[in-house]
Amino acid sequence: MNWSDLNLIPAMPEIVLLALLVLLLLADLWVSDDKRRWTHYGALATVAVTAAVQLAVWEQGSTSSFNGMYIADGMSRLAKMVLYALMFTLFVYAKPYNQVRGIFKGEFYTLSLFALLGMSVMVSSAHFLTAYIGLELLSLSLYAMIALRRDSGRSAEAALKYFVLGALASGLLLYGISMVYGATSSLDFASVLASAFNEQANEWLLKLGMVFIVVAIAFKLGAVPFHMWVPDVYDGAPTSVTAFVGTAPKIAAVVFAFRILVTGMGTIHSDWAPMLAILAVASLVVGNLAAIMQTNIKRMLAYSTVSHMGFILLAFMAGAVGFTAGLYYAITYALMAAVSFGVLMVLSTKDIECEDIKDLAGLNQRHAWFAFLMLLSMFSMAGIPPLMGFYAKFGVIMALLKQGHVWLSVFAVIMSLIGAFYYLRVVKVIYFDAPDHDQPVGSNYAAKFVLTVNAFLLLLWGIMPQTVIDWCAKALENTL
């Protein structure tokens, strides 16, 4: 290793995060259950300090560390700041929910922070091994988090299913990486790209490795037909964990896919693009049609996630403009999902777990404000203007049209219309059905305030979408 290339400044946010995480892990050993709030505040402080360090080392352009295996560029910086904001938000949402569910433990926070560290490594990877290490750190943390509620058979079953399928996907990814190394004699993204561009790589072995890698990426995104784990995990895990699984990792997975497919295998775009098109079409069909049949809102949101991932995969078909639209879509989806799961957590009490659509019946009569916030989330997911979700879908469709993919654009519009049905059904239940209970809504003011800000960002950035679009475009400037 060339020690002159060991520039630790770009990796300082991850170094600080790991150091604070270890301190929090050790400190939590001495914290009793009745003082667990200090672990909560420590986790919030850890995320805030890490974000501050990221801002302190922010610079224009692209810098690398660890002999080129780690990269800090516009895309990684933007993705990390969104991840920090989401993590802070989800910690606030989760506290009252975890307290009444008996899972207000230090493990929730330490595992979440380990997952955040894995996602940070993923989005800054410039080497296949760095990407794999980050992915495994994220995955192993999620396996444990899903089974956090030890007295729940559903949680244990969901964790086991996710572990078995996740291990299979990780094996396929590692097998594909080994083929890429055999084809190019390198695991560095830039070197792999250069080797393929200069026709120095074994073309068939490289393409075979690419197939395995695309399958692994599809699994991590939850694209059809590798989506089997999504509804079971969303339904079986505690809602606080489901909110985590369904938001931040999606952004990390999208950047992860971009790093590998575009910066590492961009020369064989004509080979992986048709595969993504097939996965996208299948995800849109299965996700939307399966979501219509669900009565459990967590499973409905799981299948809707599958359909949203189909839109993001379509964005990869449209070149540079599509990549900007795809990143914008990923951020938008994470914000929308955070609102949806945040409302479900706030509405859940010690006696009632808000997980069926009927549990939202008459919410407008019980708490009109939360009904309105859920309406904003559902309308945004359905793609109704002027919310962020509309511009996310519009951006992907316009990018496809610019590249001449007319039929894919038409198909995406049709699937959006079908998808609007099950989102509007939730709104109908909230506003027009009679409530079947009169349980009071939780009174955690911090969660209510952050949830309100989260929901109104969907409206604000829907009215002024160019702000976030410009962030995404600028982030990609020095990456492509």
> What is the C-alpha separation between 216 and 478, in angstroms, rounded?
27
- Residue 2 pLDDT: 55
- Residue 392 pLDDT: 92
pLDDT tens for 70-115 read 888 888 899 999 999 999 999 999 888 888 888 888 889 999 999 9
Residue 133 carries which DSSP code? H
pLDDT tens for 48-65 read 999 999 998 887 777 877
> What is the C-alpha separation between 53 and 289, in angstroms, rounded?
44
- Residue 65 pLDDT: 79
Around Cβ 477, how many Cβ atoms within 10 Å?
15
Best CA proximity match to 375, nearest among 426, 420, 300, 410: 426
First to last CA, the chain: 27
pLDDT tens for 402-418 read 888 899 999 999 999 99
- Residue 314 pLDDT: 92
Burial class (CB in 10 A: 0-12, 13-18, 19+), 372: middle
Residue 315 contacts residue 399 (beta carbons within 8 Å):
yes
The low-confidence residues of the chain, meaning pLDDT below 50, are none
- Residue 236 pLDDT: 87
